[in-house]
Structure 1
Amino acid sequence: MTAVQNRTPRPAAQLPPRERLSRWANKNRKWLFAGPSMAFVALLLVIPLAWTLVLSLTDSKRSVRRPFDFIGLENYVEALTDTERFWPSVGRTLAFTGGALFFELILGMIIALLLWKPFRGQGLVRTIVLLPLVATPVAVGMMWRLLFEPNIGFVNEFLSWFGIPAQPWLADPNTSLATLTFVDIWQWTPMVALILLAGLTGLSEEPQEAARMDGANAWQRFWYVTVPLMRPVIIAAVLLRGIDALKTFDILYATKGKGGGAFHDVETLNVYAYGLSFDYNEYGLASAVLILFFLMILAIIWVIQMQRKATS
């Protein structure tokens, strides 16, 4: 009876350089494959953000070639004390994002539930539901601008069939933000529905069957079984769509133009910062607004993550 001795690997210091390099590469292959892409993305994020931060501390204006001086936090103080443009823009940004996200989640869940179970013609229905995502936001904005036109738009023409007078949907400062929130809901609800449908498809049937055998009705199964199981997917949809809605610019600018309209009625932080940069050439102040906007997005993400950990 012969004893079999286990061969112990040789120490790395005793290996030839080529074999030592091969062992190191095999051990760190995940970083070697992902490293170039991660470095590229980091450069795309870090360099513009760092330059924006530098500009926010200067009096840069009028021309990008004009020498500028560092003025510390003066731009931040000016922005935070501006009750005519900055804080109303913050309010519109939060109102637009909150309203769009609320209805997109509800409508997206309804659509996902309707498409969850197989039925005849399901592929055609899914294609039709996803059609709003095909067009670019600028094209969508111009299309709805024509549809909401007070005199020749189809929306007012359709309402006239029921005796409802024409409405100044985008011309009235009191209705323009809500109207564009509706446009955003129309375009992006399918994306939320797609995310939620992917989550529903991955759910097990066993909890639903157990609840059904216990006598739970459809609403009880949805609220007490489906929603808790779907919570991680719902939070992911909120994060993805919420951040995207906060950054909305193209639809607002395509329909209302500079300053979010003559009365700044749809001027969000994105539109405000764009106007400061390209209309008034206030690069330092615009950079400060963008840094504050970035910090606001980080704070919202942190709150959502803390809420997710508290409920998990």
Structure 2
Amino acid sequence: MSAASPAQASGPLRPGYWPFILPALVLVAAVIVFPWLFTLWMSTNAWQVGSAPHFVGLDNYLRLAGDGRFWEAMGHTLSYTALSVLAPLILGTLAALVFDSKMPIRGVLRGIFVMPMMATPVAVALVWTMMFHPQLGVLNYLLSLLGIPAQAWIFEQGTVIPSLVLVETWQWTPLVMLIVLGGLASMPREPFESAQIDGANGWQKFRYITLPMILPFMMIAVIIRSIDAVKSFDIIYAMTQGGPGTASETINLYLYNVAFAYYDLGYGSAIAVVFFVIIVVMSLVLLHLRQRAKWNI
């Protein structure tokens, strides 16, 4: 028998490799693969806590089509995600442009600006809940100084989503600022010097040089914020529990209520599977857009 070639002897399937690979494979299977397979199995069963599961096929998924509360939660999730991405993106980009300038003590100001993202979500939720209080909150007091009527904030259906977005914007604008600031720091200076010689003004420099060059970094911020916002749970639950009524109930909160408040594990698993598919599709679309965001100069 001929001796094995060096490439075959050092290949990844060599028996000596398996003791090193097997623990990682077992961990991945236990932590990721098995829970999702079990969730898929549960989604095809009618399973209430305290009773035995029985197979129902796709009935749980068909039930979603006629579930008005699910579609309402879907609308809340999409609107909350869109606003929670757009507002920090705009404000974070503006902040990055400001902090990129040669301003005094900008290092100290940057440090102060990023402090909100270091706070824990529940602590942020408790502080902002007190600030949103209709009678005792500081926000309504500040509005009264400007002659603006007091607002109900998170205690009214029409303003609860924008109020939650305000909290999300306050906490995560610094993250967008740091990402865009990294893009600004990596830009070459030659295009700006050429534009200065050609007589371009500040807006033209931003529109035709700065914006195209930081667009890939802005797309990274959009991807991170979109995935984080669409699965947001802790701040919303700590501040409103999905209320008033169901005005701020996102898919995450509806899933939680179905599975752990109504104890309908089968239907809750179907919601989890659909929610996972939505996140995967959204991630693929965002990654595709990220690939198209190229350097233009």
User: TM-score, normalized by length of structure 2?
Assistant: 0.89
Residue type of the partner of 1:13? A
Establish whether residue 167 from structure 1 lines up as the match of residue 151 from structure 2: yes
Query: Counterparts of 2:106 and 2:55 in 1: how far apart (Å)?
Result: 61
Report what 1:222 is aligned to: 206
Deviations 1:243-287 (A, max 9, x none): 000010011100112xx0141010000010001111101111111
Asked which structure has the greater CA Rg, the reply is 1
Report what 2:4 is aligned to: 13
Report what 2:120 is aligned to: 136
8 Å CA contact retained: 2:113, 2:174 = yes
Report what 2:84 is aligned to: 100
The offset of 1:67, in angstroms, is: 2.0
Q: Equivalent of 1:50, from 20, 37, 49?
A: 37
Check 1:248–1:226 CA distance in 2 against 1; reply closer, same or farther (3 A cut).
same
The offset of 1:39, in angstroms, is: 7.1
Report what 1:87 is aligned to: 71
Establish whether residue 202 from structure 1 lines up as the match of residue 186 from structure 2: yes
Query: Counterparts of 2:205 and 2:273 in 1: how far apart (Å)?
Result: 44
Deviations 1:158-212 (A, max 9, x none): 2122222221111111111110111101111111111111121111111222222
Query: Counterparts of 2:30 and 2:209 in 1: how far apart (Å)?
Result: 43
Residue type of the partner of 2:277? L
Report what 1:3 is aligned to: none
Query: Counterparts of 2:219 and 2:70 in 1: how far apart (Å)?
Result: 29
Check 1:35–1:134 CA distance in 2 against 1; reply closer, same or farther (3 A cut).
farther
Query: Counterparts of 1:288 and 1:131 in 2: how far apart (Å)?
Result: 38
Report what 2:170 is aligned to: 186
Percent identity between the two aligned chains: 39
How many positions carry a matched residue from both structures? Answer: 289
Report what 1:274 is aligned to: 256
Q: Equivalent of 1:112, from 83, 93, 96?
A: 96
8 Å CA contact retained: 2:156, 2:244 = no
Query: Counterparts of 1:139 and 1:229 in 2: how far apart (Å)?
Result: 37
Check 1:38–1:311 CA distance in 2 against 1; reply closer, same or farther (3 A cut).
farther
Report what 2:247 is aligned to: 265
**What does 1:29-40 align with in structure 2 at a 5 Å threshold?**
40=27
Task: Name the SS for the 1:163 alignment partner.
Answer: coil
Task: Name the SS for the 1:88 alignment partner.
Answer: helix
Query: Counterparts of 1:33 and 1:123 in 2: how far apart (Å)?
Result: 45
RMSD after superposition: 2.6
Residue type of the partner of 1:62? V
Report what 2:53 is aligned to: 68
123-132 vs 35-44, which deviates more?
A: 35-44
Query: Counterparts of 1:39 and 1:225 in 2: how far apart (Å)?
Result: 49
Unaligned runs of 5+ in 1: 1-10, 26-31
Unaligned runs of 5+ in 2: 13-18
Residue type of the partner of 1:231? L
Establish whether residue 246 from structure 1 lines up as the match of residue 237 from structure 2: no
Report what 2:16 is aligned to: none
Establish whether residue 287 from structure 1 lines up as the match of residue 269 from structure 2: yes
